[in-house]
Structure 1
Amino acid sequence: MLVLGIESSCDETGVALVESNGSATPLLRAHALHSQIAMHQAYGGVVPELASRDHIRRVLPLAQTVFAEAGRQLAEVDVVAYTRGPGLAGALLVGAGVACALGAALGKPVLGVHHLEGHLLSPFLSVDPPEFPFVALLVSGGHTQLMRVDGVGHYEILGETIDDAAGEAFDKSAKLMGLPYPGGPWLARLAEQGDAAAFRLPRPLLHSGDLDFSFAGLKTAVMTQAKKLGDQLEARKADLAASTQAAIVEVLLKKSMAALETTGMKRLVVAGGVGANHDLRRQLDAACARRGVRVHYPELHLCTDNGAMIAMAAAMRLQAGVAEASPRYAFDVKPRWPLDALQAAA
């Protein structure tokens, strides 16, 4: 079964081909990705209308690139998958419209995929794929969640953010320091030059006794500290970046270890854009090694939004029998779509 996946939920256009054979883990045959970072940089954030228009320009050329790289033909596709939500409504409509048009033209079924499930299953694209069951830390610009994952479509949310996600804390803190968009990667690079103990910033909900997260208070503390520094901010920016990253990473680390202890599991999966953070990986690797826990990540180039994770999620859902591709080509999108709603549907 050859699955074509299309991702267009925000500011990256992704297309990929994944092939499923029997019960083995599906294989990535080719993928291509275009990031809109340069286009949105002038505005300091994603402009939804511009994002949607750029998806229209990029998706078909990217598809041509993928088919050429894989040495396959459009007519060989068995299922066309696309991101149905969550995300920007206009951006989602582009991917959904293209996918359903291709499906109708080919006479092949289509399948709408949950964006977060794509991230959750993306480590199965790596050279060291995990095995079920596991605890998952899903950590990105819009979401921070801990989940128990017993199989495809069998997810239990253990804890989640009650306000800003970890990725938002990185990006918003970076903006307060005057770093370019998107701020998270810039802050992480700058933090390598700073002293993580220079400023004692809060670790919200670190000792709450549950597995929920909160990062809005940290952002406020960074803003307060930046104002206190005043003219000295430029000279102390690396220290403030390092202290901010240390606070975020400590919370993610401690909550993840608590989730492993609560569930008794010995396998951790980390997915989402913040999962590419080197300090987070280093500390998680060390903590898991001490506890005899295996930890899995997506390949670095597959941490951000991409078509490969959408094609993989579709292939795994179909293979597990928890979803059925549809020959109906009328479509809708779900800009807001909680992952536990998907669990209920499964």
Structure 2
Amino acid sequence: MIVLGIETSCDETGVALYDTSPWENGRPASAGVLGQALHSQIAMHRDYGGVVPELASRDHIRRVLPLLDEALHEAQLKLKDIQAIAFTQGPGLAGALLVGSAFAKALAQGLNLPSIGVHHLEGHLLSALLGPSAPQFPFIALLVSGGHTQLMLVSGIGQYQLLGETLDDAAGEAFDKTAKLLGLDYPGGAALSKLAEKGQAGRFELPKPMMHSGDLDFSFSGLKTAVLNQVKKFEALGTAEENVTAQFHADLARAFVEALVAVLVSKSQKAIKQTGCKHLVLAGGVGANAQLRSALTLSAQQNHFAVHYPPLELCTDNGVMIAFAGALRLLSARNGSTHSGAFDIKPRWDLSSNNMTQEESVG
């Protein structure tokens, strides 16, 4: 079965085509990726310091059809070869989700194909199955992105239990807000991580919120506030030397990254210990962070569990993860089910509420 995936939850337009044959025949899941195309809106939103929902929605409208043509060309397929359509139903920006939903539903109706709405986070956590080392069920998923920081117990496809989540800012939000405090352009997560590599360790002792709270929840607003306080103290000194300011920014960036990574790793270790799982998946945009990957790899070696990462190109929002997640859903006991013609998007959507029954779950 060839599934078209459409992702329009925020500021990336992603389209991909996935063939389920390798998965069904026990071959690597990555072999099913036939073609993909992706457009990022980062340059458009940078001048505003963040995503402008109306602009995001309009850009999705402009991009989705050309990207579909590009993905079909790469896969050497025609529209008639598509057998099902998956689209991001939520969570995300309402207007952006409507674009993908409307396009998917119209195309599905025109081609008389089944369509299925996919949870954005399900796409992220299952994307590790497309990597060179696929995790075994059950596993713990650490989902870290601009809008979400969660620990999830994944018992199988469609079997998800929320173990802990952020009470305020997500890790990605904390990265971007801290980057802005240090004068870096939006989105600042990757730039902040790179800047941190130039910093000296030990200059600042920043808090590690909720690291010893006893639960698996997160909080990063206090860490961001601590950075703000350090910036204000530095600015009050009136230091004008450019090299001094640059080193201050680098040192503070390093302290921030080390504190945030320490919390994420500590909570992940605790989730592994509490559940008895032997596999951890890191997924979401922050999953591309080099310091976090390095720290989790070291923790896995020291604590005798395996850690799995999606391919770097699949850490950001993309159509492949939606096509793949939709394909696995369609291969389940719900195979062949179609959504109604209504644009039933879910801007706020709890992943665990989308669970299958044990009999329906595959994997």
**TM-score, with normalisation over the residues of structure 2?**
0.92
Contact residue 134 and residue 266 of structure 1 kept, 8 A: yes
**Which amino acid is the alignment partner of residue 260 of structure 1?**
I
Match of 1:261 among 273, 276, 280: 273
Contact residue 152 and residue 322 of structure 1 kept, 8 A: no
**Which amino acid is the alignment partner of residue 18 of structure 2?**
V
- Equivalent residue for 2:291? 279
**Which amino acid is the alignment partner of residue 290 of structure 1?**
Q
State the alpha-carbon separation in 1 of the partners of residues 345 and 250 from structure 2: 41
- Equivalent residue for 2:340? 328
Deviation of the 1:163 alpha carbon: 0.7
Deviation of the 1:325 alpha carbon: 3.4
State the alpha-carbon separation in 2 of the partners of residues 85 and 77 from structure 1: 23
Match of 1:112 among 117, 141, 144: 117
RMSD: 1.5
- Equivalent residue for 1:39? 44
Match of 1:270 among 278, 282, 297: 282
Where structure 1 has 5 or more consecutive residues not aligned to the other structure, the ranges are none
- Equivalent residue for 2:197? 192
Once the two structures are superposed, the pairs formed by residues 296-311 of structure 1 within 5 Å of their partners are 296-311=308-323
State the alpha-carbon separation in 1 of the partners of residues 310 and 133 from structure 2: 9
State the alpha-carbon separation in 2 of the partners of residues 167 and 75 from structure 1: 39
Deviation of the 1:23 alpha carbon: 5.5
Is the partner of 2:355 in helix, strand or coil?
A: helix
- Equivalent residue for 1:48? 53
Deviation of the 1:338 alpha carbon: 1.2
Contact residue 199 and residue 247 of structure 2 kept, 8 A: no
Is the partner of 2:272 in helix, strand or coil?
A: helix
- Equivalent residue for 1:85? 90
Deviation of the 1:196 alpha carbon: 3.4
Contact residue 108 and residue 327 of structure 1 kept, 8 A: no
- Equivalent residue for 1:145? 150
- 1:225 to 2:237 alignment: no
- Equivalent residue for 1:293? 305
The verdict on how the C-alpha distance between 1:75 and 1:197 changes in structure 2, with shifts beyond 3 A counting, is: same
State the alpha-carbon separation in 2 of the partners of residues 17 and 298 from structure 1: 18
- Equivalent residue for 1:8? 8
**Which amino acid is the alignment partner of residue 83 of structure 2?**
D
State the alpha-carbon separation in 2 of the partners of residues 161 and 91 from structure 1: 24
State the alpha-carbon separation in 2 of the partners of residues 327 and 117 from structure 1: 18
Contact residue 140 and residue 273 of structure 1 kept, 8 A: yes
Contact residue 124 and residue 143 of structure 2 kept, 8 A: yes
Equivalenced residues, count: 346
- Equivalent residue for 2:324? 312
State the alpha-carbon separation in 2 of the partners of residues 197 and 302 from structure 1: 34
Is the partner of 1:156 in helix, strand or coil?
A: strand
Match of 2:136 among 131, 139, 153: 131
Is the partner of 1:224 in helix, strand or coil?
A: helix
State the alpha-carbon separation in 2 of the partners of residues 107 and 325 from structure 1: 12
- 1:64 to 2:46 alignment: no
Match of 1:99 among 104, 109, 122: 104
Q: Provide runs of 4+ in structure 1 moved above 3 Å.
A: 23-26, 231-235, 322-325
Deviation of the 1:126 alpha carbon: 1.4
State the alpha-carbon separation in 2 of the partners of residues 245 and 196 from structure 1: 11
State the alpha-carbon separation in 2 of the partners of residues 302 and 311 from structure 1: 12
State the alpha-carbon separation in 2 of the partners of residues 196 and 99 from structure 1: 49
Deviation of the 1:327 alpha carbon: 5.8
Where structure 2 has 5 or more consecutive residues not aligned to the other structure, the ranges are 240-244
Deviation of the 1:127 alpha carbon: 2.1
Contact residue 34 and residue 75 of structure 2 kept, 8 A: yes
**Which amino acid is the alignment partner of residue 340 of structure 2?**
R
Is the partner of 1:162 in helix, strand or coil?
A: coil
Q: More displaced, 108-117 or 22-31?
A: 22-31
State the alpha-carbon separation in 1 of the partners of residues 186 and 348 from structure 2: 24
Contact residue 253 and residue 283 of structure 1 kept, 8 A: yes
Contact residue 123 and residue 130 of structure 1 kept, 8 A: yes
Contact residue 270 and residue 297 of structure 1 kept, 8 A: yes
**Which amino acid is the alignment partner of residue 267 of structure 1?**
H
The verdict on how the C-alpha distance between 1:225 and 1:324 changes in structure 2, with shifts beyond 3 A counting, is: farther
1:145-172: CA deviations, max 9, x gaps?
Answer: 1111110010111111111111111111
1:180-203: CA deviations, max 9, x gaps?
Answer: 110111100100100232210000
Match of 1:183 among 181, 188, 194: 188
**TM-score, with normalisation over the residues of structure 1?**
0.97
Report % sequence identity: 58
State the alpha-carbon separation in 2 of the partners of residues 235 and 261 from structure 1: 39
State the alpha-carbon separation in 2 of the partners of residues 323 and 203 from structure 1: 45
State the alpha-carbon separation in 2 of the partners of residues 163 and 132 from structure 1: 30
Deviation of the 1:42 alpha carbon: 0.7
